[in-house]
Chains A and B, each alone.
Chain A
Amino acid sequence: MLNGILRKILGKGGSREVAKKRLKFALVYDKLEVSNDILSDLQADVIEVISRYFEIDKSGLKLDIQRMEDKTALVVNTPILSAKRKVIAA
């Protein structure tokens, strides 16, 4: 009980809160783990879509999943050679 009072006064959490936080992070991370197969399929699709609008250096395209403290981002980086002129359908 003394422990309880002290904790209330000092506002200090036990390792339980730490455990819960770490667990939630671990599970989010686990679910964001993308297999290389999926990543290379995605890369092929991304190249196809971008190529409709830009002339790009296909070998220079980089696709990456970046994890930050509280967010995860998909980063696509590609050198653009030129913009494609829109072909107006006859």
Chain B
Amino acid sequence: MEGKTIVITSGKGGVGKTTATASLGAALALEGKRVAVVDMDIGLRNLDVVMGLENRIVFNVVDAAKGKCKLKQAAIKDRRVENLFLIPASQSDNKDALSPELMKQFAKELRREFDFTLMDCPAGIERGFENAVAAADEAIVICTPEVSSVRDADRVIGLLYARSITPKLVVNRIVPAMVEKGDMLSHEDVVDVLSIELIGLVEMDEQVVVSTNTGIPSVLQKGSVAGEAFRRIAMRINGQPELPIAVPQGQKRFWKKVGRKLGFGK
């Protein structure tokens, strides 16, 4: 059976695309799938360090897509998670090194080899975005509960629709206490504005910093709420779309619980 290619995109930079790609890739591999994560940010590669595989790069996505090496040579095997592979970006080329046509060809090869291929899309909506999206069957849009991020997500969703892709939404870095105080957009607000299907909610989690510091995916860290959320998103991607989406609650204190019961929450 042919695999699926999914682009992880956002428009705005710094909202957690790379972390999401690494986490979802690891989680899908833990589910027993054969997974490739592809860094499409040509010239500014980062997925390799987030995954702790930066010392093992020989070939990259440009080499593989152009046929300068075999796909198997460019795919770095993760030693901690079985069936997880990284195809790193090239650091020396620029974004014109790839083209949408080339990526469409390359995607065929990826679908044959892997159950899931996750593309970490660069920020912006220029050539790098075009390249990443050209190879994708599906899309996941990551956004944070901030005005700038949601606005960019809206733009990207429009561009994806124009390419006949119906994206799904992950709201990342939710701070429940701020939402409760009325100082942060809630996930309902975001979904209301963007009106696309939600596939997961991820709470702000300091463990993610630790995870990128050490290069160990957050889904492998015990007690990481973000890691747990990404694992559940991976299950939804992997044939359990009906798995309920939990709303981040944060640390609940006694009086807050009482307040919520009395209707003073939110």
A binding-site residues for B, Cβ under 8 Å: 1, 3-5, 7-8, 13-17, 19-20, 22-24, 26-27, 30
Contact = CB atoms under 8 A, between A and B. Distances in A.
Given A1-B264, A16-B186, A24-B193, 19 more contacts: A1-B256, A4-B180, A4-B264, A4-B265, A4-B266, A5-B259, A5-B264, A14-B181, A15-B183, A16-B182, A16-B183, A16-B189, A19-B146, A19-B184, A20-B189, A23-B150, A23-B193, A27-B193, A30-B154
The CB with the most chain B CB atoms within 10 A, among A3, A4, A27, is that of A4
Contacts of A15: 182-184
Contacts of A23: 147, 150-151, 185, 193
B258 interface: yes
A56 B264 CA distance: 64
Contact of B154 (A7, A8, A20, A27): A27
Chain B contact residues: helix, strand, loop or mixed: helix
A50 to B, nearest CB: 33
Contact of B151 (A3, A13, A26): A26
B151 A17 contact: no
B183 A8 contact: no
Given A1-B256, A4-B259, A30 B151 contact: yes
A63 to B, nearest CB: 25
Interface string B150-189: 1100110000000000000000000000011111111001
Interface in B226-266: 255-256, 258-259, 264-266
A24 B264 CA distance: 26
Interface residues of B, number: 23
Nearest to B183: A14
Given A4-B265, A23-B150, A27-B154, A17 B182 contact: yes
Contacts of A17: 182
Nearest to B265: A4
- Closest 3 A/B residue pairs (Cβ): A14-B182, A1-B259, A4-B264
A26 B266 CA distance: 25
A3 B147 contact: no
A1 B255 CA distance: 7
B147 A26 contact: yes
A14 B181 CA distance: 7
B264 A8 contact: yes
A63 B209 CA distance: 53
Contacts of A3: 181
A20 B182 contact: no
8 contacts: A1-B258, A8-B264, A16-B183, A17-B182, A19-B184, A19-B185, A23-B193, A30-B155
Contact of B147 (A14, A22, A30): A22
